[in-house]
Amino acid sequence: MPEGLSTIEAGDKIADHAKHQAGHRGGSVRDKWISIVEAVVLSIVTVVAAWAGYSAAKWSTESSLNLAKASATRVKANRAFQEALTYRVGDAVTFNAWYSAHVAGDENDMRVARRYFLPAYRVAFDAWLASRPFTNPNAPAGPEAMPQFRPPGAALARALDTRADAYYAQGQKAAETGDHYIRVTVILASVLFLVGISTQFPIRGIRYGLIAVGVALLVFAGEQILALPGPP
């Protein structure tokens, strides 16, 4: 009698094969869904990473521009200050000439010296004379000590210094924002790595774990981006 499977054995084999095929088909469908989820996560991460990189580049450019404006404005402030200092030295020299003429009692030289005062200094000088400095012990020390004294260029120098400080602060803030975007880009790169290597593991549990960590990091990166200002 030829060897072979009995009817019962053949039936059992067919049933086992059917169960195996059913399990295999179920596993394939599940693997396909995992692959779809991985593809969706990778697509989202790619778009968000591109946005974060673009924002970081824009804020870096904004920082450079503001710092350059701060430097240029500071140069203008120094120039205005040096100009004001030059005027003050000239007024001091002229005042010394006037004072020498006053001590000598030379009215003509006093009149000539006063004529060379700058308009802003002349206002302070007249106010100083009105305080009777030669008889009043409480009089200010000189025209430059008067509140009316406003040397040319001094106010402009202060205004330019304030503007330069503002530009510098804006440049620092822009640089910090760019750094935050770069940090988000690094986090998103980690997501790309984790989700990317998850496709290399045949064990579903490992793939689930890597995808879960990647999604958690993606959500964290999204929260960071929402807290940051958009590109300038």
* pLDDT per position as a tens digit, 19-53: 444 444 445 677 678 888 888 888 898 899 999 99
Range ranked top by mean pLDDT from 35-39, 128-132, 148-152: 128-132
In tens, the pLDDT along 108-123 reads: 988 888 888 888 888 8
- Would you state the pLDDT for residue 166? 96
Predicted TM-score (pTM) above 0.75? no
- What is d(CA 218, CA 224) in angstroms, rounded to the nearest whole number? 10
Distances (CA, A) of 93 to 79, 81, 96, 140, 160: 21, 18, 5, 19, 28
Q: Shortest CA distance to 191 belongs to which of 164, 208, 166, 210?
A: 210
Percent of the chain residues topping a pLDDT of 90: 37
